[in-house]
A and B are shown apart, each in its own frame.
Chain A
Amino acid sequence: MSRSPVRVDPVLGDDSPPSTLAHPGWANTMPPGFDGQSAIAPSRLDELDTTPTRDAPAPARPAVAQATLVDTLRTLLPPHALLWRNEDTTPYECDGLTAYRERPLAVALPETEEQVSALLAACHRLGVPVVARGAGTGLSGGAMPHANGLTLSLAKFNRIVKIDTRARTATVQSGVRNLAISEAVAPHGFYYAPDPSSQIACTIGGNVAENSGGVHCLKYGLTLHNVLQVRGFLADGSPATFGSLALDVPGLDLLSVVVGSEGMLAVVTEVVVKLTPKPQVARCIMASFDNVRAAGDAVAAIIANGLIPAGLEMMDKPMTAAVEAFVNAGYDLDAAAILLCESDGTPEEVQEEILRMKSVLVGAGATQLEVSDNEAQRLRFWSGRKNAFPASGRLSPDYMCMDSTIPRARLADMLLAIAEMEVKFDLRCCNVFHAGDGNLHPLILFDANDPEQLHRAEAFGAEILELSVAMGGTISGEHGVGAEKLNSMCVQFSETERAQMLALKAAFDPQGLLNPGKVIPTLSRCAEYGRMHVKRGALAFPELERF
């Protein structure tokens, strides 16, 4: 679950991170961490926070001194591409999950693949962990630095290498922003389909690491389905190419595990993405329902009737009220839930599909129904959904964003269960769902200045995640496990399953140097969590750090 009280940047909206520079003074007051445990900068959460690096497996060799690392890397990079002073590395201390902070020994900003390879080889020799980083917009702490490690920023890999309209591919360096790809290929009538809401800032390398989705992934797929080939380097600095410009490769399909591996298997420098012809038309239906059960059932009915909308999103009443106050888009404030259902394609196709969608929605009990007639109106329908996070930020000092996925048919059950949890935990929750995928983003509102409220919010979030797993779902649909959901991994996977995943990492990275301690919890961590887990809600010493 997301422990971070996410402060939303109004420009980036939705999934975008708060500025990592929001509290530049904090970390400078702290001594750098030498033991992998002590360098968490103070945040308002730390008294209750799970120190994520406590779980990080200690490197096989003792930690390398900063001076040794810097002296080694200096010979490989121009002076401006290596940062190690506190004031220079502090901006890198967290990603979009600002509650978890750690300062690395150094930050490298290589400019060439040769430099990346040499850096990795040097760190491999020294036994120094390496954490790759794109734009740092991730929401689960996947790019949070390692206290004894190097943060490897791919920010300078920002070149679009080739656009091949005949093959319908673009070859881009890993630091290219998601939206920049679509902008570059737009004159040719194409776009890059996955559109995470942070797309103006997040990079394709980060998308590969997280297997990012977006509002259109029900129809157009996730990052994995839109990437053909990934080029990069293994932990020892040797080059490796996963996938191919052909549709399959000899041997195992390693691309399918590299995508979504959160920087733990390889460092990516270049990506070949598939381009999709831009649909000629898109139209959106906005439908109101007077109870959430009917709205949830409508989602299932759309799919069961053979329709695959380009987007299918749901907002509950509190969320609708919040976004209407924010964007004044004319949402139906009396509705218990609102569905946005989009069709795209040729004009003939869209007309046919919209008719079918309308008839299913009416049949499912929609109380009000509006179809966009033009692009301005369609964008107005979406404006509230796209601003759900910043709008929630105005309701409450802090909120936690959950990211679990459940079977679509359970959407209404989940909404009703969350309503009961609101009473139980005495906290409000706004709900916005990628309903077509069953991916939930409940936003639990609380005030982090009140440790007791934070405690309740955490318990609220954990209960949503556990219910999601119990419903046959998963703890993370698109934000990743990172540093944040390690405990929840213990709930979802058995010991042998986790051991197999750790072995998979070792097959790519035998020394365990790439982003160690993230994604797959160690067996001892899960044992510890299991003991605590039983007593959830009635911890004997709530004031103690829960590790």
Chain B
Amino acid sequence: MNDTLIGLAERVRQATAAKAILRIRGGNTKSFMAGVMSDAATLDMRSYAGIVDYAPSELVITARAGTPLVEIEKVLAERGQCLPFDPPRFADETGALSGTVGGMVASGLAGPGRAAVGGVRDYVLGVLLLNGRGDLMHFGGQVMKNVAGYDVSRLLAGSWGALGAICEVSLKVLPMPVATATLRFDMRQGEALDHLHAWAGQPLPLNASVWWRDTLAVRLRGAHAAVAAAVSRLGGEVIPNELGDAFWEGLRDQRDEFFIEARHAAERDKSALWRLSLPPTTPVLPSFDDTLVEWGGAQRWIVAGAEDTLVLHRAERAGGSAFRVVGGVGDGAGYATPLAPSLLAIHKRLRESFDPHGVFVPGRPMRF
């Protein structure tokens, strides 16, 4: 077994013995979401990096947790393949896109393509996990269809370190689409949602959508003929691909104008940036300071100076959930929709079974 891996496992066992706590860290690009954990020592996964195996004809790549996402995407692009769910790579303090593949799985965050192609969990095929006992365990595998045992590898997508440190991950990848087009429309939010629902019910190569300040943009991806036919059918203004691609990338990495303004607002005047995950057909939620709608209505980013309880209430009433990403006050209760009591008990027992001594401090979204 690899020395670095042995060292990581040893580190966990030592921390357990010393009753210390560990914060699992990759590129350190998501600490704004994960929250501050001042008492915790860092289990730095960047030392365990590199692509272990990549077979384009299998549509599978296996990489160590510390591998930067940009490196994986570069290797995939050389063979005409990609991670179609557009995981955000985020910039570190130097501005470099340093998010790692381990962090991608642990956070479970996906970008503009999510609604059309699925999320992180849908592309996780297998994981090597280091649990809180210092045991290394494989779950899942490197093949597309696998129903042997419980699918623990997919459970780790979006687990924010609650069940252990993800050391290696096998991901399903897909061919890059042969054609892409971006269309722009002037529309109010309600009208945009109506159009998006109608289009999604038709066999159109609709791949991503975003609405902000009375502008709707959609991305089409697929065969040349299908994209061309959809462009002429949907109308709107065709955005040249170099502009369109840069726009979607900015949105994906949350470096777009909306996110920059939202962060400034949070620093300036106590307002907060919220992410709402909602049934896509939820009607327009009025009276917030600013709103950006993605995923055909299923993901809505909201800037609000409002009370936490109001935002949480709105999300829950719609049958969804809310999470205060940046800004606002305090990290106690109130920054996220709580779990149903029956599920909370399962979460506690699950965490106890993976990490009985509580050696790992999970990120903010998973503090239950």
Contact = CB atoms under 8 A, between A and B. Distances in A.
Contacts of B337: 250
A2 interface: no
A260 B143 contact: no
Contact of B152 (A190, A280, A488, A504): A504
A247 B118 CA distance: 9
B226 A405 contact: no
A190 B58 contact: no
Interface stretch (A54-62, A152-160, A475-483): A475-483
A206 interface: no
B138 to A, nearest CB: 6
Give the most central of A188, A213, A256: most B CB within 10 Å. A256
Contact of A306 (B176, B323, B340, B352): B176
Given A306-B176, A474-B148, A250 B336 contact: yes
B201 interface: yes
A308 B155 contact: no
B150 to A, nearest CB: 5
Contact of A409 (B57, B281, B299, B366): B57
A257 B321 contact: no
B147 interface: yes
A307 B222 CA distance: 11
Interface stretch (A331-339, A342-350, A365-373): A342-350
Given A190-B201, A239-B342, A250-B323, A224 B298 contact: no
Given A247-B298, A408-B57, A500 B353 contact: yes
A408 B58 contact: yes
Nearest to A238: B342
A352 interface: yes
A444 interface: no
Interface in A228-270: 234, 238-242, 244-254, 256-257, 259-261, 265
B143 A473 contact: yes
Interface string A490-504: 001110111011011
Contacts of A278: 203
A222 B154 CA distance: 13
Interface string B177-201: 0100000000000000000010011
A201 to B, nearest CB: 19
B200 A256 contact: no
A265 to B, nearest CB: 8
A351 interface: yes
A498 B295 CA distance: 37
A253 B157 contact: yes
Contact of B148 (A224, A439, A481, A504): A481
Interface in A305-363: 306-308, 345-346, 348-349, 351-353
A306 B179 CA distance: 12
Contacts of A434: 145
A351 B224 CA distance: 11
Interface stretch (B63-71, B247-255, B343-351): B343-351
B343 A254 contact: yes
B159 interface: yes
A507 B349 contact: yes
A257 B148 contact: no
A544 interface: no
B136 to A, nearest CB: 8
A351 B228 CA distance: 14
A277 B226 contact: no
Give the most central of B145, B278, B349: most A CB within 10 Å. B145
Nearest to B129: A500
A242 B155 CA distance: 12
Contacts of B143: 405-407, 437-438, 472-474, 477
Interface string A433-458: 01001110000000000000000000
A249 B203 CA distance: 28
A78 interface: no
A530 interface: no
A225 interface: yes
A503 to B, nearest CB: 4
Given A279-B203, A348-B225, A475 B144 contact: no
B157 A346 contact: no
Contacts of B121: 253, 256
B225 A500 contact: no
A519 interface: yes
A88 B126 CA distance: 43
A300 B57 contact: yes
B35 interface: no
Give the most central of B119, B147, B277, B319: most A CB within 10 Å. B147
Contacts of B55: 407, 409
Nearest to A473: B143
A407 B143 CA distance: 6
Given A247-B295, A303-B58, A500 B131 contact: yes
Interface stretch (A98-106, A143-151, A165-173, A378-386): A165-173
A15 interface: no
B144 A489 contact: no
B278 to A, nearest CB: 5
A301 interface: yes
Contacts of B279: 167, 244-246
B59 interface: yes
Contacts of B115: 247
Contact of B145 (A244, A352, A405, A489): A405
A353 B150 contact: no
B147 A478 contact: yes
B174 A308 contact: yes
Interface in A198-240: 210-211, 213, 217-218, 221-222, 224-225, 234, 238-240
Interface in A95-146: none
Interface string A280-316: 1000000000000000000011011011100000000
Contacts of B228: 348
B288 interface: no
A113 B205 CA distance: 40
B137 A496 contact: yes
Interface string B327-368: 000000000111110111011011011100000000001101
B142 interface: yes
A249 B321 contact: yes
Contacts of A480: 147
Give the most central of B121, B138, B163, B346: most A CB within 10 Å. B346
A304 B295 contact: no
A344 to B, nearest CB: 9
A221 B350 contact: no
Contacts of B203: 277-280, 345-346
A520 interface: yes
Contacts of A31: none
Give the most central of B115, B144, B347: most A CB within 10 Å. B144
Contacts of B142: 407, 472
B25 interface: no
A201 B146 CA distance: 23
B158 interface: yes
Give the most central of A165, A240, A248, A474: most B CB within 10 Å. A248
A210 B145 CA distance: 12
Nearest to A190: B201
B141 A168 contact: no
15 contacts: A240-B340, A246-B277, A246-B279, A252-B159, A278-B203, A353-B223, A405-B144, A406-B143, A478-B145, A481-B149, A489-B148, A493-B149, A496-B135, A500-B131, A507-B346
Interface of A: 164-168, 188-190, 210-211, 213, 217-218, 221-222, 224-225, 234, 238-242, 244-254, 256-257, 259-261, 265, 277-280, 300-301, 303-304, 306-308, 345-346, 348-349, 351-353, 405-409, 434, 437-439, 472-481, 485, 488-489, 492-494, 496-498, 500-501, 503-508, 510, 519-520
Give 3 closest A-B pairs by Cβ, nearest first. Answer: A348-B225, A306-B175, A503-B353
Given A408-B58, A505-B150, A506-B353, 8 more contacts: A166-B281, A252-B155, A253-B121, A300-B58, A306-B175, A348-B226, A437-B144, A474-B141
